[in-house]
Amino acid sequence: MVNQRGHGGVNFDSLDKKQGEFSRATEREQSLNQELWALHQSLLLNMGQHWNIHSLVTLKRQALMKLLYLDHIYKMALDVPGIICEFGVQWGGTLAQLINLRGMYEPYNYGRTIVGFDTFEGFVDIDSRDGQLLSTGDFATTSNYDVTLERLLVIHESFSPLSHIKKFELVKGDAAVTIEPWLKNNPHALIAMAIFDMDVYKPTKEVLERIRPRLTKGSLLVFDELNCPQYPGETIALAEVLGLPNVRLRRYIHSPYAAWVVVGDTTT
């Protein structure tokens, strides 16, 4: 945990490495967050079979924003053929919601495979271009979590049509290493949307370079930490591979660092 005390009780650049999020919350907000978590735990077992709906009573604004953002970018990819890749899965919250969104918007598009790449052991290699706050092994999940996540995603997929057809894949390992053999084993795969949430320079740059031949005009490249001072490596990787003057970046109005590129979009 890195804390730099600011004015008004704000912990600037406070990094919760277990959850993988920076926080600029005040001490009061952190205390309320802990109270909300305790209430969530105490209520959950009493909510019955509709617990998943009733538990929305503890859903925070930030989580709702994430869901609305995923809905927004998913709808932009609906008319683009190909698969969806997420590079940097961690606990799999985004993958799970992508599967749910597919079930809502295109339940019979069994060609829309969703593929997640992650080490599940945290950062493999930190580069000098990644700043001073990150360390090897940060944001690791629990041991063998990929097995648990596989089961979770199977369950999510089972609530939509054509659930007998598996339409997701987890690729365990350093994406900078696994992406090349995966592409060779899947020569058919067009990439409609690639979500980059690896945070650091080397794998972001390596994957961007490798997947470029599988992108079409209209494919989306989505980034979670662009223009973020705590994660400079992601911006540097994009600048070196595509060149910032060559892309039209767009942002989501409710998130400070989420941004995307539509391949072939040269409008100003």
The model's confidence at residue 167, banded by pLDDT at 50, 70 and 90, is very high
Residue 189, exposed/middle/buried by CB under 10 A (0-12, 13-18, 19+)?
middle
Query: Pseudo-torsion of CA 199, 26, 12, 15, nearest 10°?
Result: -40
Q: What is the pLDDT of residues 198-219, one digit of tens each?
A: 999 999 999 999 999 999 999 9
Q: What percent of the chain has pLDDT above 90?
A: 82
Q: What is the pLDDT of residues 220-256, one digit of tens each?
A: 999 999 999 999 999 999 999 999 999 999 999 998 9
Residue 25 pLDDT: 81
- Cα angle: 78, vertex 84, 88; to 5 degrees: 140
Give the whole-angstrom CA distance, residue 146 versus residue 90. Answer: 9
Residue 249, exposed/middle/buried by CB under 10 A (0-12, 13-18, 19+)?
middle
* 45 CB neighbour count, 10 Å cutoff: 8
Query: Which of residues 226 and 19 earns the better pLDDT score?
Result: 226
Is 18 a residue whose pLDDT tops 60?
no
Is 143 a residue whose pLDDT tops 50?
yes
Enumerate domains of the chain plus CATH numbers.
Answer: 1-59 (no CATH), 60-262 (3.40.50.150)
Burial of 108-118, coded b for 16+ CB within 10 Å and e otherwise, reads eeeebbbbbbb
pTM as predicted: 0.89
Q: What is the pLDDT of residues 56-96, one digit of tens each?
A: 999 999 999 999 999 999 999 999 999 999 999 999 999 99
Is 1 a residue whose pLDDT tops 60?
no
Both tokens assigned to 248: 């039209």
